[in-house]
Amino acid sequence: MALAVEIPDRVDPYLDIDEYEPEADLMVLNLGPQHPSTHGVFHVKLFLDGEIIIKAVPYAGYLHRGVEKLCEKLMFTQITPIVDKNDYVSPMMNEQAINMAFEALLGVEVPRRARYVRTIEAELQRIASHLLWLGTFGMDLGGALGGGATIFMHCFRERESILDLFEEVTGCRFHYNTHTIGGNRHDITPGWADHVKQALDVIDQRIPEYESLMTGNRIFVERTRGVGVLKAELAMELGITGPMLRAAGVSHDLRRHAPYHAYDEIKVKVQTEKAGDSLARTLVRIREMSESSRIVRELIDNVPEGPICGHKPIKIATQERAQSGQAYACLESPRGELGTYVIGGGANKGASPYRLKIRPPSLHAVSCLPYVLPGHTVSDAVTILGSTDPIIGEVDR
Amino acid sequence: MKALAGISGFGGALLHGAVYGILIVTVLMTVTAWSIWFERKFSGRMQSRLGPTLVGPAGLLQPLADALKLLQKESIVPASADKALFRLAPPLTVLFALGTAAVIPFSPKVIAADLDVGVLYLLALSGLMVFPVWIAGWASNNKYSLLGGMRAVAQGISYEVPLVLAAMVPVVLSGSMKLSEIVRFQRHHGWFIAWPPGPGLLAFVLFFMASLAEANRIPFDIPEAESELVAGVTTEYTGMEFGLFYLSEYLHTLIVSAVAAALFFGGWDGPFAPGLFWMVLKTLLLFGSIFWIRWTLLRFRSDQLMVICWKYLVPGGLVLVMAAAVWVQFITPNQTATGMAPAAPSAVPAQPLFHEEVP
Amino acid sequence: MKGVVLDKKVVALLGERFGVEEFPDDVPPLLDGTRHFELARALKDEIGYRLYGFCVASHWLETTPKKGGDPDPEHYEVATGLRAPGKRSTLAVWRVRLSMDEEIESLVPLFAGADWQEREQYDLVGVRFANHPDLRRLMMPEDWEGHPLRKDYAIETACPPWR
């Protein structure tokens, strides 16, 4: 069946559709912004020939809240709870990224105990985020009233146990505001390690079950194999990092190759797959969950004694001032490289940053859509969008 | 009832059909409404959560609450929709679904219209059930509904073929299209699911899959694929019109289970208890297994669906009909429905069953 | 700059071929605006910085130094970062200074990921990128007036009523 437009190997996302013959009769379908499975308020305009997508144009900005402008008038400690809401699924990552940037700007050392606690919290957050992704991905494929809902319920039940752990430490299930310049505000208690191990025992037993529920399911494999293939070169040009890049075959993980926190004391096994399709991304994320569980078990019993915060506690928000200087700090969030670029010397005589820019991994992941979607059907569009694990709060800030 | 027993002939058949028809329709609609409760409880337990518990004891009045909620909503017709067709589609789905219930043999006595061409009637109405979905997709004037409608048509007419082929197997084996004859044949010669060994079971699997596709159930529910097409064909419907689509889906599933029970599992055949009990039990077991499949599996993509139908189910169906024909012609050439010598079909009078039946 | 240590190959490249002499501790090295694309190409093809990092633009108002001297005119600064994936992954970051009507060369022919980052910086700060295939607003609605992240854009600016 010949398409109205030939789809080349390297798609040109700026294709001018009007050039093609009028009898082609391409239909324009708007996927979103209100849609059950666009993972937030996201809009992709699809140009269809029958059911095959010829061109896809994503529109971002529906969730733009002006976080960067807002942070220019807030003090450093006031920024942490605002930035929590960017990647609203893994708030620990946002907080850690922002505080790492401020620590670099102000030249503050983080003590060893805080680095261990940050690592453990980050890995637990990674498991929770991937569980949420697996549940919603199943829903995309199988329907909110159907087989997908079953996997969704199971994944969220495991996620609840992790959120209970966080509640024990920080008092919040979500959006913790537990990090500060120089360390953490909340220290872990001696009993927490046992609770973590109990929760991980249950999760370690269930992750292979979920893996077989998905990958042993013939329908799942047929719907994700070969769908949304992203080549490594294109991924790197697009700036995609994280499980999407690793599924394309590139072994690049900031935890191993540019270590921070306590990752220089342990060895993280980087999970890669070669195919670059949605099935590969699923496998990479599931294996990353097991790997994170292993890392937490390795660290939880060996947390060194010492102060949890290396800097004097901040009682007044204007305590920390930076008159000049530019800093960039990044970490490996469940979606890729989450970085923060901060320029010091802003309002309130330097107590606010002059410019704060967050480099969100989901922005790059979602910008792969014009390259990957053409040639697939509308059902595949939902699968591919789900497998890129986009968080629109992060894309738009 | 006794006074009516005297009326025979066409008037009697009409009266019989009307009385039993109304009875069956009422019972079916009630059972369908409570199947909503059953589904929610069952799926809840499968996902380690409780289903509805608040409304009535153990949530049993939930369907009533749902129906009341839908009834009191405004029925919105989009300004640019085709108003006549838009309003026509929901009642049509229920109509065709209920129409098929006329020929199902619930027990030796309880059957609204025991047509000589029962199976043909069933298949014809299944084919008609594609229309309301398509009409709804077109009349909504909405791209999502249109896509859903087109997919529904493609799926519906494709899966007609394996459905017909699979339904032909019991017809060939028993030599009659009359559903009560098929049930009686199974009573005497063994259920088709087990005897003849092989073709019967495979024909059941084919019939089951094709019926799931006709009823738009997961894994074949592309026309109403919620995560892709918002609500597919039913996107623009509100209130009780949406409720009718919802209801007709459960009704269609229930009827498909009843038909499968009659064609392959021996219908009302069973020891100790009256026929009605066995028929209801078999229907409900099949109905439950359809839900079980729904809440476990993901859905197929539309092109994968077509591949399954045309490359696997249709050739399989043809082979099975051939196998059934070989069985009847060469292996058991002297059997008929009632085990008597081959006789004309009209040897047993096809009368409305107010009278004593011939077992 | 703080938090980023430039690899010695990058330092050598910048020093020898691009005439960068100062590598201060607290800010990225300043590069001549006309050589921006060339540097990115050299880093991508020769040294292997193939992973696109980020693009940050900031708006600086006219300032007068307290000790006297020439006032620093209003200008933009664009900082770009590229990463080399794999073992011992490092970042290469540099700054370009632009006056208010100058344009900077777009990196889209080299890195497809620069597309959205540059559109966002155009949208929010107002920096124009030459040879960008589709420079339009990303975050704000298409018909918005003004660039919100500029220093002369008040945060209390009323937004027009939703149409």
Q: Tokens representing C58? A: 């900031």
DSSP C75-131: EEEEEEEEE--STT--EEEEEEEEETT--EE--TTT-TTHHHHHHHHHHHT---EET
Q: Give the rounded distance of the alpha carbon of A89 from its chain centre.
A: 8
Q: What's the pLDDT at B359?
A: 53
The stretch A301-326 carries a mean pLDDT of 82
Burial of B11 (0-12, 13-18, 19+ CB in 10 A): exposed
Give contacts of B143 with chain A, Cβ < 8 Å: 27, 29
Q: What's the pLDDT at A203?
A: 92
What band does B339 get if pLDDT is binned at 50, 70 and 90?
very low
Chain A touched by B218 (CB under 8 Å) = yes
Q: Rounded to 5 degrees, what are φ and ψ at B215?
A: -85, 5
The stretch A103-109 carries a mean pLDDT of 88
Top pLDDT among B267 and B206 is at B206
Chains C and A touch (3+ CB pairs under 8 A): yes
Chain A touched by C149 (CB under 8 Å) = yes
Q: What's the pLDDT at B268?
A: 79
Residue in chain A nearest C82 by alpha carbon:
A239
> C129-130 and C104-105 as β-strands: parallel, antiparallel, unpaired?
parallel
Chain A touched by B302 (CB under 8 Å) = yes
Contact B218 A146 (CB under 8 A): yes
The stretch A306-324 carries a mean pLDDT of 81
The ipTM value here is 0.91
Contact A105 C4 (CB under 8 A): no
What band does B353 get if pLDDT is binned at 50, 70 and 90?
very low
Give contacts of C88 with chain A, Cβ < 8 Å: 257-258
Give contacts of A219 with chain B, Cβ < 8 Å: 219, 297-300
Which residue, among A150, A224, A282, would best test binding to B if mutated, counting the most B CBs under 10 Å from its CB? Answer: A150
Q: Which chains touch A (3 or more CB pairs under 8 A)?
A: B, C
Q: Could you read off the pLDDT of A22-35 as tens digits, one per residue? A: 555 677 888 877 77
DSSP B138-196: HHTT-HHHHHHHHHHHHHHHHHHHHHHHHHHHHHHHHT---HHHHHHHHHHH--TTTSS
The rounded distance, in Å, linking the Cα atoms of B162 and B28 is 26
The rounded distance, in Å, linking the Cα atoms of A112 and C108 is 41
Top pLDDT among C1 and A269 is at A269
Chains B and C touch (3+ CB pairs under 8 A): no
Chain C touched by A60 (CB under 8 Å) = yes
Residue ranges of the domains in chain C?
8-130
Please say if the pLDDT value at position B1 is more than 60.
no
Q: Could you read off the pLDDT of A354-382 as tens digits, one per residue? A: 999 999 999 999 889 999 988 888 888 88
CB-facing half-sphere around the CA of A213: CA atoms within 13 A: 23
Identify which of C4, C89, C113 has the shortest CB distance to residue A367. Answer: C113
The rounded distance, in Å, linking the Cα atoms of C17 and A246 is 34
Please say if the pLDDT value at position B299 is more than 50.
yes
Contact A139 B227 (CB under 8 A): yes
Q: Could you read off the pLDDT of C61-91 as tens digits, one per residue? A: 888 777 777 778 888 999 999 998 888 888 8
Please say if the pLDDT value at position A123 is more than 90.
yes
Give contacts of B43 with chain A, Cβ < 8 Å: 149-150
What band does A205 get if pLDDT is binned at 50, 70 and 90?
very high
Query: Taking the model in full, what pTM does it have?
Result: 0.84
Give contacts of C155 with chain A, Cβ < 8 Å: 66, 69-70, 73
Q: Could you read off the pLDDT of B176-197 as tens digits, one per residue? A: 888 888 888 888 887 887 777 7
Q: What's the pLDDT at A323?
A: 83
Distance from B302 to chain A by nearest Cα, in Å? 8
Domains located in chain A, CATH noted: 67-396 (1.10.645.10)
Which residue, among C26, C41, C51, would best test binding to A if mutated, counting the most A CBs under 10 Å from its CB? Answer: C51
Provide the CATH number for the domain formed by C8-130 in this structure.
Answer: 3.30.460.80
What band does A2 get if pLDDT is binned at 50, 70 and 90?
low
Top pLDDT among B225 and B56 is at B56
Please say if the pLDDT value at position A228 is more than 50.
yes
What band does A20 get if pLDDT is binned at 50, 70 and 90?
low
pLDDT string in tens for chain C (163-residue length): 788 888 888 888 888 888 888 888 888 888 888 888 889 998 888 888 889 999 999 998 888 777 777 778 888 999 999 998 888 888 889 999 888 888 888 998 888 889 899 999 998 998 999 888 888 888 888 888 888 888 888 877 777 776 5
Distance from A17 to chain C by nearest Cα, in Å? 15
Q: Could you read off the pLDDT of A79-90 as tens digits, one per residue? A: 999 998 888 899
Q: What's the pLDDT at B348?
A: 47
What band does B228 get if pLDDT is binned at 50, 70 and 90?
low
Identify which of B48, B226, B228 has the shortest CB distance to residue A378. Answer: B228
The rounded distance, in Å, linking the Cα atoms of B302 and B221 is 9
Give contacts of A258 with chain C, Cβ < 8 Å: 88-90
